[in-house]
Structure 1
Amino acid sequence: MSLNKRLNTISLAIVLILAAILSGCAGNNEQAPESSKSNESPQASKSGQFITVLVEGGSPAFKVATATAEEFKKQTGYEVKIESVPYIGVFDKLNAELKAKAGSYDVATIDILWFPALASGLESMDDLYTDEVNSDLFPNLIDGAIVDGKKLGMPVWTNSKTMQYRKDLFEDTKEMEAFKKEYGYELKPPTNWQEYRDVAKFFTRDTNNDGQIDLYGTGVLGKNNGDSVASWLDHSLQAGADRLVVGEDGKANVNTKPYVEALDFLVKVLREDKSAPEGALNMASDEIAELFWNGKMAMMLEWGHFFVPSNDPAKSKVAGKVGTAPMIGGAAGIGVVPGPWYQVIPASSKKKDIAKEYVKFLFERNEQFLEVIGVAARKSIFDKNGSKPEYAHLNSLTTTLSAKQTLNRPVLEHWNEIESEALIPAVQAALSGKSTPQEALDEAAKIINEIHGL
């Protein structure tokens, strides 16, 4: 064989080897054309591929993500890698990711409160909001996902304060007779501010005659966190607030009539009627619920999902004796600030298409959140399960979340600063008696305007 022929033979062999190598690389490449994978199963075609999901550790989002990961892998071939961190860690990590644009996360589950700060780095989900999806969600749940005209998240659950009360007390014949004799009307779960104050005063008592109050009518949330603000804003909406915290002109409106009346209402329940424990400034939802579950409270305005543990004998001494009703109303009717959570997709994700498939996948399995936390996002799930005794709170939530005065917290970039530096201190100053509601909220308005540079 001549030298030229030998060289040609060697060259051909090298070309064939390179072609085989390149072909093998293309077969493993995530971006390979679909035609090259047409005879492969989803599992084989997505071998070694995954999406990374960021959730709060131990939360409903973590539990559902864990429970459904294998099913998603079987359906799509994509492994779900779950990164779980403490509550504020979700915000911190996602915020850092959006700034770095590193593509570390493909999906995250976030509190509605974080939308203003994260919005610029999130992928639009407008295309996921079909007519069918829209018709199955409360309007305020859709509105909560919108920032600058774009829907940036898909809800996984929603929640709000509702009434929970001791049926064994409210339905006791002697209690009913005594209440009617004192107040002139029938004892029932209160529907407005006056009834609420009357019932709370009536049930606040020393039950064992030791000189100490051991049964309170209700509780007041005053702890140094967002619970106290949400509770006060609930009542502000009931008093007629139509724009929360800031008006159309961007200036603070928290020192106007509805807000002052709402804070005054809470102060009267605590300090004038003495129908709530004195340690209100150290009490948030968990502390109030513990008192209620231990039989130390006749009723509470609490997040709807607390109804489930209220009737769990392992957690509650009053299990089987708890009823549920919609949130009370003020002059403007029922109103609350909801507490929804959403799935979001970072715009930096390199797998946005499969991330959207994952979001759709969990929306279709939204009932699993009901099983884990006691609430969900879809109205159809509320309707389907509300007739079950263990989920009776869903009916109260539906009425409350559908009320005309129910409104999401405002989309403000500096919300965390406003809440911590202006609103929480104002609520605590009034509840402690250090300031009148008007004085406390005048100061809060001043601080908010300073934060906004006004």
Structure 2
Amino acid sequence: MHRIFKRSEVAERDLDTLSSIDTRGLISRRELMRRSALFGAAATLSTFGGVLSAAAAGGSGKVTVGLDSGAFTPILKTFAPEFKAATGIEVDFASYPLGNMYDQNLLALRQGTARFDVFDFWPNFVGDFGPFLTPLADVGSLDKLNFSDIAKPFQQLNIYENKVVGVMIDGDMFINTYRTDLFENDQEMTAFKAKYGYDLSAPKTYKQYRDTSEFFTRPDKNLYGSVEVTSFFVYAFFINHLVQLQAEKGMRYGELFDEKMKPLISNDVVEEAVDRYKEMTAFMPKDLAAAMPWDVGRQIFFEGKVAQANWWTDMPKGAAEGKISKVAGKIKCAHSYGDVTILPYGRAVGIAGNSKNKEGAFSVIAWLQQSKNANRWVAETFEQSLMDPWRNSMFDDAKTTFPLQAESGFADNFASISKAQLASPKTYLDISIPGTNRYLASIMQHIPQAVTGQVSTKDALQAITGEFEETTETYGRDRQIAHYDEYRQRMIKQGYWS
């Protein structure tokens, strides 16, 4: 009688792991399983598993990752040797200027040889980059990217022809950061109610946003009520005013075109949105209001010259850090004014279609998406990393994700408000159709001229309308209709327009 030995669950798992590894010809499967029979699955896996997994995941050769230059670059220098130790794959993190993100990468994608295997981009470039990006599911499982942990709005970005071609590595959105030493001051609260007839608090409507900004604007004391960008990133602040106004009126907010790609940009509602934008510049430093850069706007808040900022999430992250901010310990976050969560956005990474090492590229992305690595990227100092959270788990474990802000309690405040906004039933997703860069360029050229009074609002909007039409014809109206319909259906399917 032959006795049948039953393998332990651990041994079965090790054997299954060995049998599933793609050896890429480094060792025959027959030899691998023979060694397993001689020495045991665990010992064989220990000897060959790491090498074979790296080979299967990455092939041979180095993986080059391109990222726009910024304060997050230093931590990548730390990640590079750690990634090699974990996977056996060498990775080279290279940087390029932020302003060249679109042109340089689009050119590189069209060439026969990849400049980068993996590179970062803004999601609204996907319409132009999409034909040259590799659908991630063609290389590996989205489960390996922890995709289900990504907050719902961020999951809806980086989609080209209904395929996911990128995954977030940075999660921006508009959030209100306000000074508690001002908004929660008894004397200020009494004075505000006497003037406006209601209690001072973080604004929930445009009227409250406008009133609180006016109230705290005191140029003689070098204090201003709010700060908004009026230069390069003007599009984001304009679209915020437009979307919130359209939502107030029960419209499909942020719908820049109709179903035939006819622009919906020259009308009374859009004019009113521009007027709101123009009105807010009165509550900013006069010498900067006409052309407020994003980095200067952030800096004057850190210096204690601004009462509140309806801004991207990097504002509270930096403002809470005592090393660089004079208002650390004196701020809280609240929902961005209005009903709609604006521009869940940030940076994504994707795999170049002309990469010769797509499996290795996928391995890099998967490694960066592991919670412990992703959290470290966000948790670093402002000087080390500007990255903001994009995963639900990052908000669930605020003390780990925001260790520098944990003791004061600000981490929990920031995390809870952010998570609530990302779960909002009303969210505006940015367009990402072919030519988006040109459409946005039209807005960024003409809206500042209207805001500063160089041209009338009507003339600015008519100019944008004409250029929108030109861009649509350049890319092909039928093609644009199809891509814009994909975007519209995504908004409808997610219930954001209901």
TM band (smaller chain): 0.7 to 0.9
Match of residue 133 from structure 2: 122
Query: SS of the residue aligned with 1:380?
Result: helix
Query: Is 2:118–2:361's contact at 8 Å kept on the other side of the alignment?
Result: yes
Per the TM alignment, residue 427 of structure 1 is displaced from its structure 2 partner at its CA by 1.5
Query: Is 1:53–1:82's contact at 8 Å kept on the other side of the alignment?
Result: yes
Which has the higher mean CA deviation after the structures are superposed, 156-165 or 82-91? 82-91
1:20-59 to structure 2, matched below 5 A, reads: 32-35=25-28, 38=32, 40=48, 42=50, 49-59=61-71
1:270-281 to structure 2, matched below 5 A, reads: 270=281, 274-278=282-286, 279-281=288-290
Aligned counterparts of 1:334 and 1:69: Cα–Cα separation in 2:
39
Which among 346, 349, 353 is matched to residue 340 of structure 1? 346
Aligned counterparts of 2:219 and 2:82: Cα–Cα separation in 1:
55
Structure whose alpha-carbon radius of gyration is higher: 1
Query: Is 1:221–1:231's contact at 8 Å kept on the other side of the alignment?
Result: yes
Aligned counterparts of 2:132 and 2:100: Cα–Cα separation in 1:
17
Aligned counterparts of 2:387 and 2:396: Cα–Cα separation in 1:
13
Which has the higher mean CA deviation after the structures are superposed, 86-95 or 302-311? 86-95
Per the TM alignment, residue 163 of structure 1 is displaced from its structure 2 partner at its CA by 0.7
Match of residue 496 from structure 2: none
Match of residue 423 from structure 1: 443
Which has the higher mean CA deviation after the structures are superposed, 282-291 or 170-179? 282-291
Which among 221, 228, 234 is matched to residue 228 of structure 1? 234
Percent of matched pairs sharing the same residue: 23
Query: SS of the residue aligned with 1:314?
Result: coil
Match of residue 321 from structure 2: 312
Per the TM alignment, residue 104 of structure 1 is displaced from its structure 2 partner at its CA by 4.0
Deviations 1:319-364 (A, max 9, x none): 22122111100xxx22312222111111222221222122111111
Residue 293 of structure 2 aligns with an amino acid whose one-letter code is A
Per the TM alignment, residue 177 of structure 1 is displaced from its structure 2 partner at its CA by 0.6
The answer for unaligned runs of 5 or more in structure 1 is: 1-29, 209-213
Match of residue 397 from structure 1: 418
1:38-437 to structure 2, matched below 5 A, reads: 38=32, 40=48, 42=50, 49-60=61-72, 62-126=73-137, 127-130=140-143, 133-207=146-220, 214-223=222-231, 225=232, 227-240=233-246, 241-270=252-281, 274-278=282-286, 279-329=288-338, 333-364=339-370, 365-371=373-379, 372-373=385-386, 375-385=388-398, 388=406, 389-391=409-411, 392-420=413-441, 422-437=442-457
Note closer, same or farther for the CA distance 1:64–1:112 as it changes in structure 2 (3 Å cut): farther
How many residue pairs were aligned? 410
Query: Is 1:311–1:322's contact at 8 Å kept on the other side of the alignment?
Result: yes
Residue 300 of structure 1 aligns with an amino acid whose one-letter code is A
Q: For the aligned residues, what is the CA RMSD? A: 2.6
Aligned counterparts of 2:180 and 2:471: Cα–Cα separation in 1:
46
Residue 299 of structure 2 aligns with an amino acid whose one-letter code is E
Per the TM alignment, residue 257 of structure 1 is displaced from its structure 2 partner at its CA by 4.5
Residue 351 of structure 1 aligns with an amino acid whose one-letter code is N
Query: SS of the residue aligned with 2:81?
Result: helix
Match of residue 491 from structure 2: none
Note closer, same or farther for the CA distance 1:402–1:320 as it changes in structure 2 (3 Å cut): same
Note closer, same or farther for the CA distance 1:439–1:396 as it changes in structure 2 (3 Å cut): farther
Query: SS of the residue aligned with 1:373?
Result: coil
The TM-score with structure 2 as length reference comes to: 0.76
Note closer, same or farther for the CA distance 1:41–1:384 as it changes in structure 2 (3 Å cut): closer
Per the TM alignment, residue 41 of structure 1 is displaced from its structure 2 partner at its CA by 6.7
Which among 417, 423, 444 is matched to residue 464 of structure 2? 444
Query: Is 2:123–2:432's contact at 8 Å kept on the other side of the alignment?
Result: no
Query: Is 2:117–2:355's contact at 8 Å kept on the other side of the alignment?
Result: yes
Per the TM alignment, residue 405 of structure 1 is displaced from its structure 2 partner at its CA by 3.4
Query: SS of the residue aligned with 1:239?
Result: helix
Query: SS of the residue aligned with 1:368?
Result: helix
Query: Is 1:122–1:347's contact at 8 Å kept on the other side of the alignment?
Result: yes
The answer for unaligned runs of 5 or more in structure 2 is: 1-22, 33-46, 247-251, 380-384, 478-498
Residue 444 of structure 2 aligns with an amino acid whose one-letter code is I
Query: Is 1:42–1:76's contact at 8 Å kept on the other side of the alignment?
Result: yes
